[in-house]
Structure 1
């Protein structure tokens, strides 16, 4: 698609002159391919990628709806649509504007869908958003199936762009986008971050198939479980985080607005458990106390979980959270080696982590910890330190991922100085397979330590006992069976199959 060199005469997007009046907008989370669903990471995709709705596009839809626009949402991934089925539905709906969201590892899915749509409906206007394009706009816009890129927070940028296209005005006036013009990629000024999040309408969850989002198998006995976001941005400087979408400036919804949304999830959608999926729920004692006070004042009875920081949480605050309905806290640990923690700029100590995990366990908050292996300065010894540290903590669950230098994260600029990049294929950037091998390690050794981490943590009587104490009803048993099946399929069967395949090749 070629850009117009004279914006005063036409839009830089071919066919966008048909986007007039009140355009219809379809926002879509692209489908997962058959190869991805049935490949080695199929169990991970099935159990971990589809446990909560795409709130980013739901927030955009909520704002567009509030302005009287015709908008639909499609989560083709959770619906189980094939790329062909997704295309058929888009053709039948005939939207004027198609918005696609994408992370780095599923960028190829967005490209595949974008190309198919453009071939079938050449006049449609396509807009790409999400974390990947926010840090890699020029590279993403090299794909001619995308007419515009929405960079950073998408709500007001999308609204502005849709209104501009409807009025057939020059999109160069829209902040926070990229598009082709005069043979090159033109990027407008970055749109300021939304200062007052309370101005945003709630995400349009009613446009999504909420019954199809299934909580992780070890994610608690209180169902239905729903996700919500109470803040955006993070001021901390961890080198593995990409802040391209929400930035480093911390902004929070007000406590009344947060509890308004909690009430809506309970009364309208029947939620029994709410997962706060913010990058940083606990930025301060004061903020958390304000939310707790609002929950108590309204008498809301709902279970909830959140991520905490070990250097902010206190036993007193955790006890207040427990009384207000919190049943689990998640702790971003990342490493059990203090030198690694310092290098990745985590700004916590092992003793702070140990103390908060102990307090959470004592209070019955079933602490879960997040670890990563394969940091730039990682060695076999430091990974073993993490394994030993995790086993020494009174944790109920862990999530361990393989460090993945994402475009836009600070470590992306330096990681090649500390080891070897073994894949430039964005599909591999899943956090579940190595794309970077630190010096002194091999791919085989890193994968072996990754498996060892999970198996040596979970295959212990104490972990079985901790989970048995969480059983509430017979229906919990299939959920735990699913968790065991995932553990077996990902870390035992995969290894056996690999060994068998290698022996057959010999």
Structure 2
């Protein structure tokens, strides 16, 4: 099994070679959600929006039903679900109600599974759909399908799984192309055997060839009232202004990591923002890019547009909840972020120990901490609140570049492990954690508002997961029965999934608690109605506990 960071790209420059052989009636379904105690946010289902828009506008297929079980009060419906080790809750209308909304004459059903934990609710839903509509093919896409395609196919009973970006693959299925000729597909053949195409799904080198994400069939009037990051105070548009990230951080679970960064044009991005303001009264933009600031000039153009809107008197604000890449920040960007209405800058620091950063494969790990202090100063000077992400209990990872191998052998020889012809570095021990605490104190002295600690999680398909499996550090042997995503407010020692000789599961939990109690914590951009103040981690913890 190859790691996602080494999987080859499959980019194409045009899609004119693809032809529809007849209009299909398409049903798009958003997977129900799991939360520990209460619903924390509302997804705007951008993935389904792009998939449906491409099939509809490029090839003329009909979106005959769009079903989001969280809408129309579905987010209030709570049903307990359990794994072998943990308990959580399912939110959304029942599987039976979802099935009742599926037209009987549909030609195909597409379901988005955005997170690993989606499987807890996805698998039983798909099995019921297949029982009710035996002749209609069910296609699963999303992060879960990309990282665990065989498990999804076998456990859910779905007909087809799409790995990677799904616009082209899904439309080619609708168009009637030979399934074995479609990169990215995993499907069950007529004889029962499973066929897995060896290549990633095809991706358009220019995402500008993909239409805007289904604003005509997604219920945006309801979506903008509660953002994917928990903002209820504003009317929020969830927006992707670029796709991909060229870097290969070992813990990262995005399917597009290690891939070509592909921006939408500034003109397209600004048109979508203007439309959202005019049609739905949007006053906040949540940029979901994995790397918004990779190219500074392009980031400056988008931010300048938001600044101009504010100068004209429109009170738009913006946020970047996935974090802003530290080694691509500048003082000019920091100042413009403030002028564009950014309320807080999230910096993905990850660790205050250089050795641990090297084991994560963080970009420019050797200079990362020095640059972080400079960026934090710029952001604070610009008048931004700043919160920094840290990963606690990181187990270690592969040292990939020759330069890093040389430095690590020179400075951290006692932490080196070698196996299979590769060089690995042990992760966070107590000394490294104490270095992180000291670094956090430096950040606070600069004026950083908060520290957001997260416990290391081996998401399936990541390099981190492969490392833990290779050396026997996974706490649970049957990962399909393990929760991978829980609110930090609901974290418990039994949820920690990594156990190493230098950091036990209890150690990781204790370190996480120590950081959370030592420093103010901001949990992304959650805001309640009738307030413009960001909630702190302590406030969320008290409310959810």
TM-score range, shorter chain: 0.7 to 0.9
1:339 to 328, 339, 355: 355
Provide the rounded CA distance (Å) in 2 between the counterparts of 1:368 and 1:260.
Answer: 30
- How far is the alpha carbon of 1:442 from its aligned partner? 2.5
Structure having the higher helix fraction is 1
Instruction: Name the counterpart of 1:305.
Output: 319
Given the alignment of the two structures, is residue 194 of structure 1 paired with residue 212 of structure 2, yes or no? no
Counterpart in the other structure of 2:37: 42
Gaps of 5+ in 2: 1-20, 76-91, 396-426, 489-494
Q: Displacement, 1:270?
A: 1.4
Q: 2:449 aligns with which of 396, 419, 442?
A: 396
Q: Is the 8 A contact 2:245 2:290 kept in 1?
A: yes
Give unpaired runs (5+ residues) of structure 1. Answer: 1-19, 494-506
> C-alpha separation between the residues in 2 aligned to 1:437 and 1:118?
39
Equivalent pair of 1:387/1:457 in contact (CA under 8 Å) = no
- How big is the shift at 1:444? 2.2
Question: 1:157 is matched with which residue?
Answer: 169
In the alignment, which residue of structure 1 is the partner of 2:371? 352
**SS of the residue aligned with 1:274?**
strand
Matching of residues 359-378 of structure 1 within 5 Å = 359-376=378-395, 377-378=427-428
* 1:222/1:273 contact within 8 Å kept: no
Could you tell me whether the CA contact under 8 Å between 2:42 and 2:230 is conserved in 1? no
| CA distance 1:113–1:382, change in 2 (3 Å) | same
Q: Which residue of 1 is the match for residue 28 of structure 2?
A: 27
CA contact (8 A) 2:240 2:288 kept: yes
Distance in 1 (alpha carbons) for counterparts of 2:436 and 2:117:
26
Equivalent residues of 2:393, 2:507 under 8 A apart: no
Out of 112, 118, 121, the position equivalent to 1:101 is: 112
TM-aligned CA deviation for residue 136 of structure 1: 2.5
Query: Does structure 2 conserve the Cα–Cα contact (< 8 Å) formed by 1:217 and 1:480?
Result: no
Match of 2:159 among 147, 154, 158: 147
Cα distance between partner residues in 2 of 1:152 and 1:245: 8
TM-score (norm 2): 0.74
**Deviates further, 229-238 or 245-254:** 245-254
| 1:70-219 equivalence runs, <5 A | 70-71=62-63, 72-77=65-70, 79-80=74-75, 81-91=92-102, 95-102=106-113, 103-143=115-155, 145-164=157-176, 170-181=178-189, 182-188=191-197, 189-210=199-220, 211=222, 214-215=226-227
CA distance in 2, matches of 1:451, 1:390: 14
User: Retained in 2: the 8 A contact 1:322–1:363?
Assistant: yes
Report the 3-state secondary structure (helix = DSSP H, G, I; strand = E; otherwise coil) of the residue aligned with 2:101: helix
1:446 aligned to 2:508? yes
* Cα distance in 1 between the residues matched to 2:207 and 2:535: 40
1:374 positional shift: 2.0
SS in 2 for 1:367: strand
Structure 2 Cα separation of the partners of residues 183 and 104 of structure 1: 26
Q: 2:436 aligned with 1:386, yes or no?
A: yes
Instruction: Give the 3-state SS of the residue equivalent to 2:289 in structure 1.
Output: coil
Counterpart Cα distance in 2 of 1:332 and 1:52: 22
Give aligned pairs, total: 448
Partners of 1:483 and 1:94 in 2: CA distance: 48
User: Could you tell me whether the CA contact under 8 Å between 1:329 and 1:366 is conserved in 2?
Assistant: yes
1:488 shift after superposition: 1.8
1:420 counterpart = 2:429 = no
- Tell me how far apart the structure 2 counterparts of residues 30 and 148 of structure 1 sit (CA, whole Å): 16
Report the TM-score, using the length of structure 1 for normalisation.
Answer: 0.79
> SS of the residue aligned with 2:139?
strand
**After superposition, what is the alpha-carbon deviation per residue over 1:401-454, rounded to whole angstroms, capped at 9, x for unaligned?**
221112221222212455621123344111653111232332222222222222
1:290 corresponds, among 272, 291, 301, to 301
Q: Per-residue displacement from partner, 1:466-491 (whole Å, max 9, x unpaired)?
A: x9xx99x99218x767965522255x
Q: What is the alpha-carbon distance in structure 2 between the residues aligned to residue 239 and residue 404 of structure 1?
A: 11
Counterpart contact for 2:250–2:463, Cα < 8 Å? yes
**More deviation in 149-158 or 296-305?**
296-305
